[in-house]
């Protein structure tokens, strides 16, 4: 997979590691439910122009490492992944509907960690290089 992606007015490499779990951490993502959940997540990502770099559907939680476009916020991405998958899984599997009778399949919240190919030290070196402009102009320092 290429590292940089591009849109009409941007070049980007935005990656995030997402984790969320089933409500009460019930082990319900097994068998056909697990396969259908995987397919729903793939479909939603395709529609949103999100590339799944790695992913795991465990029995009670999801791990996704994705590359996403700048037009999409992480919170909106998770909202759409969790919302669509929950709605369709509860519709298609009556045993889930009985267990989650309130209609809430996923637990509240999620974890998100940015992923990149540049270290903090490299970024600091880059910013330090730009403190003093070569032609003597002062750059505006944000600290």
**Domain positions in the chain:** 12-116
pLDDT of residue 10: 87
Question: Has residue 109 got a pLDDT over 70?
Answer: yes
* pTM reported for the whole predicted model: 0.83
Q: Higher model confidence: residue 136 or residue 71?
A: 71
Q: What percent of the chain has pLDDT over 70?
A: 85
1-16 pLDDT tens trace:
457 888 888 898 999 9
User: For the chain, what is the mean pLDDT?
Assistant: 88
**76 with 8: CB under 8 angstroms?**
no
pLDDT of residue 1: 45
Token code pair at residue 98: 């009985």
Report the C-alpha gap between 110 and 124 in whole angstroms. Answer: 29
pLDDT confidence band for 131 (50 / 70 / 90): low
35-77 pLDDT tens trace:
999 999 999 999 999 999 999 999 999 999 999 999 999 999 9
What is the domain class of 12-116 according to CATH? alpha beta
């Amino acid at each position: 997979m290429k590292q940089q992606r591009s849109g009409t007015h941007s070049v980007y490499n935005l990656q995030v590691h997402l984790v969320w779990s089933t409500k009460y951490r019930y082990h319900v993502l097994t068998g056909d439910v697990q396969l259908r959940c995987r397919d729903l997540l793939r479909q939603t990502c395709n529609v949103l122009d999100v590339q799944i770099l790695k992913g795991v559907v465990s029995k009670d939680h999801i791990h996704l490492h994705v590359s996403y476009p700048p037009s999409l916020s992480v919170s909106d991405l998770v909202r759409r992944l969790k919302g669509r998958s929950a709605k369709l899984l509860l519709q298609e599997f009556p045993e889930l509907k009985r267990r989650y009778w309130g209609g809430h399949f996923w637990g509240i919240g999620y974890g998100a960690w940015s992923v990149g190919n540049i270290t903090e030290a490299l970024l600091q070196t880059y910013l330090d290089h730009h403190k003093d402009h070569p032609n003597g102009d002062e750059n505006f320092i944000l600290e």
